[in-house]
Structure 1
């Protein structure tokens, strides 16, 4: 019985802070979809497939890409190897190290429009999968024929987001569910780390004590800057741009000193 109490899933119920991570170009330094395409014999998609993409239907497009890759004989091992080789974003492993050393304070989750196979493969390989309580992403698994089959995460009614995923819906549902699990106690602060345009919608659900960490000079950062100039009142959370995970560590250390 005592052995069980040391396991990570028996971590203290009342971690004070929630940290949410995007995956592509946030945890890792490029898009996992682009990295996997390099496993193709010619290392790129044919034009007819590239040109079949429709705005807001990226998940559907990626389903076609994975079918094409299977037809070209790309194996599960080649896909795994391509994912494992993706470098982390600068300083992200230092950030994970910091969060691991303060696991009693921080609960971690991933909210990403990539897919479960890519994310779990990369996190396991990097030795950090155990840090995350939950991964919200599109389901993906290999079928009997060895093809990676991708599905949409959910359907929603948000007009700002791709048809397969609204990260704000995920964030709001998770916060409500966790507050209930925690006997009505909300997280003291929520931190959202991202880079892309689809990270704006969840950031709009953050409260004044929370912080959005947009990757500097990436779409999320540029959109937030424009939003602040044109309609400052709409965005409630603090904004701290980051170039390296070290920038996020510095900010979290200051907040930890405020206790």
Structure 2
């Protein structure tokens, strides 16, 4: 399985220095893994929706909106990005809209907490957005160094100035969109890090909001925690799951401070 590593040089994004790259690598002995979804978890809306504001009239034509098919959003977003390019929308305009997306409530406090406990937490973004949007937003927020990897659909600007988006992989999971099964990605990441670290993480924390965050949460163990944004699809689906179908504990959150309260208990429990 190919991974879109956070250390990958994405065209038109700032290149990090060797010192910054070293800062991004937590100790191999970090006890806990924290995985973040991006859209509506780290940022307050879908980054795909935000970019539409760069279109003429800040809206898509009806024919393009009608072209969407369930489970094929990556393919639909490819058409949207092609449309923006045809309309003369520049990289500068796209990046500006991405950088303007507000963080979810309390996210700065959560990121500050994780920065102050880098020896305890290894942080990763696992998202069905794309490399360009996430890298641009994290860099603008001054948070890129906190994350060891950004795992998402590859996207970069080509020589013609078009933002080219690709699917992350193909898979056969019936629960997930055709371009990414987060459960398969998470399983591969955990196996790879097990070999690299020489041991498992004591606990895994998965922070998400959407229906596609349920599938990866199904591989969490009893000692792990699914942090589901309160009253969002992930939370509702986990609450409705039949008893015994889900091993990890479920902690709802409405702000980053709620997540800090959850994580702090495990840091203090030494």
TM superposition score category, shorter chain reference:
over 0.9
1:7 CA drift (Å): 3.0
TM alignment of 1:42-191, pairs within 5 A: 42-183=57-198, 185-191=199-205
Give yes or no for contact 1:215–1:242 (8 Å, CA) kept in 2. Answer: yes
Taking structure 1 as reference, are residues 203 and 145 closer, same or farther at Cα in structure 2, changes over 3 Å only?
A: same
Give yes or no for contact 1:113–1:137 (8 Å, CA) kept in 2. Answer: yes
Give yes or no for contact 2:26–2:122 (8 Å, CA) kept in 1. Answer: no
Give yes or no for contact 2:132–2:156 (8 Å, CA) kept in 1. Answer: yes
Structure 2 unaligned spans of 5+? 1-17
1:7 matched to 2:18? The reply is no
Q: How many residues end up aligned between the 2 structures?
A: 253
Distance in 1 separating the partners of 2:234 and 2:22: 36
- Please name the residue that 1:253 is paired with: 264
Give CA deviations for 1:146-203 in whole Å, capped at 9, x if unaligned. Answer: 01000000011111111000000010000010010012x1000000000000000000
Give CA deviations for 1:58-97 in whole Å, capped at 9, x if unaligned. Answer: 0000000000000111000000000000000000111000
TM alignment of 1:229-248, pairs within 5 A: 231-248=242-259
- Which range is displaced more, 119-128 or 3-12? 3-12
Give yes or no for contact 1:4–1:10 (8 Å, CA) kept in 2. Answer: no
Cα RMSD over matched residues?
1.4
Distance in 1 separating the partners of 2:265 and 2:134: 30
Structure 1 unaligned spans of 5+? none
- Please name the residue that 1:219 is paired with: 233
- Please name the residue that 2:14 is paired with: none
Distance in 2 separating the partners of 1:4 and 1:82: 29
Q: Given the two structures, how large is their TM-score scaled by the length of structure 1?
A: 0.95
Give yes or no for contact 1:199–1:220 (8 Å, CA) kept in 2. Answer: yes
